[in-house]
Homo-oligomer: A and B are copies of this chain.
């Protein structure tokens, strides 16, 4: 276990209406107020945004991708240039995933062996091996504040035996990751697998907690199952995890999903939705999503969200529509920036509600507001590529 100046996590306040909690996550690059949302900087950049703009949204931690950086520019290059923080000019905390999810979602011809995953690079077709030991080595070279164990992700729905096999392999890989991990300034999180099978999930939790990780992630969700199924699994898994460790729900999700998960005791999130939807001209607002290419915005002098304090909301909807119609980079930049600001403001509001002991009311109010909008359309947009 790492020792970044003492304990990794303190719960500061627990909501009186739900299992939501406010906490402080300590890392070698500073603290993070939880519940927290991590914007995704896949290739060591949050697409189109200079680091100071991301920081201006209130972002305290970002995520970057082992899989992508392994292929390009290679972790040895990042290490030679002083590590990931210095490389990308982001001096606050960074979490790196292990590549398990991308091997499942992006790589071609993936072969999972007990030794590790063997796949063809989506860039040049070359054969690459990612073992648990290499996943840790890569993350140590990158120098992230939080590293993830390599896990074996499978599609849902799937046969129970396939899910069980993958979960058990993930446990054996987690143990090898723990053994390989050396950096004392980097936390290591285990990942709970087990699909939509509550008993498999609980067995996985038990074994991971036995091994003892700095934090615990819930993986293998948001891979196509209905939100209600995800919430059902969170109901079982989140409370079974140690209260004094941070809990991270990987790759989730829509604003309502974040709040539903927070109510179930989750502390940490990442998702490409604010930035990917932003590049596709979809803006999150308090009043529901806006498609910025729509003709109705042509002469609209209002900002995307009149209640939003972000830099992008100093511009009119008419201007942002023009940027998208003219295929100007500044369109994706401004809507990505706004969407990250929207997520961070939502998380600030969530933390305030927990502090006030009224997160349940806050969640109810958001459920009611957002069910009246077309917020669910995001899914369609999200899958439209980028």
A77 close to B (CB within 8 Å): yes
CB within 8 Å of B: which of A314-328?
A: 314-316, 318-319, 321-323, 325-326, 328
Chain B residues with CB under 8 Å of A155's CB are none
The 8 Å CB contact of A77, one of B49, B52, B298, is B298
Contact (Cβ within 8 A) A82 B47: no
Q: What distance in Å separates the Cβ of A156 from its nearest Cβ neighbour in chain B?
A: 30
- Report the stretch among A30-38, A141-149, A329-337 that lies at the interface: A329-337
| Cβ contact within 8 Å between B326 and A329 | no
- Cβ-closest chain B residue relative to A332: B329
A59-102 Cβ-contact flags toward B at 8 Å (1 or 0): 00000000010001100010011100011110000000000000
* Pairwise interchain contact B329-A298, C-beta atoms closer than 8 A: no
Q: Which residues of B contact A333 (CB under 8 A)?
A: 48, 50, 329
Q: Contact at B81–A301, with CB atoms within 8 Å?
A: yes
A319:B50 contact, CB within 8 angstroms: no
A314 CB, nearest partner CB in chain B, Å: 6
A329/B81 in contact, CB under 8 A: no
Query: Is A358 close to B, CB under 8 A?
Result: no
B50 touches A322 (CB 8 A): no
Number of A interface residues at 8 Å Cβ cutoff, please give it: 39
State the Cβ distance, A92 to closest chain B Cβ, in Å. Answer: 15
Give the contacting residue for A81; candidates B50, B68, B86, B319; CB below 8 A.
B319
A43 to B319, CA, bound (A): 11
Scoring A43, A319, A332 by chain B CB atoms within 10 A of each residue's CB, the highest score goes to A319
**Residue on B nearest A87 in the bound complex, by CB:** B319
A110 within 8 A of B: no
Take A73-B322, A319-B88, A322-B73 as given contacts and tell me if A299 and B81 are in contact as well, using a CB distance cutoff of 8 Å: yes
- Scoring A82, A301, A329 by chain B CB atoms within 10 A of each residue's CB, the highest score goes to A329
Give A280-338 interface residues, CB cut-off 8 Å to B.
298-299, 301, 311, 314-316, 318-319, 321-323, 325-326, 328-330, 332-333
Q: What are 19 residue pairs bridging A and B, where the CB atoms are less than 8 Å apart in the complex? A: A43-B323, A44-B319, A44-B322, A47-B328, A49-B330, A73-B321, A73-B326, A77-B298, A77-B322, A80-B299, A80-B301, A81-B316, A81-B318, A87-B322, A88-B319, A89-B314, A89-B315, A89-B319, A329-B333
Interface residues of A (CB under 8 A from B): 43-45, 47-50, 52-53, 68, 72-73, 77, 80-82, 86-89, 298-299, 301, 311, 314-316, 318-319, 321-323, 325-326, 328-330, 332-333
* Pairs A-B, 4 closest by C-beta atoms: A48-B329, A73-B322, A43-B326, A80-B299
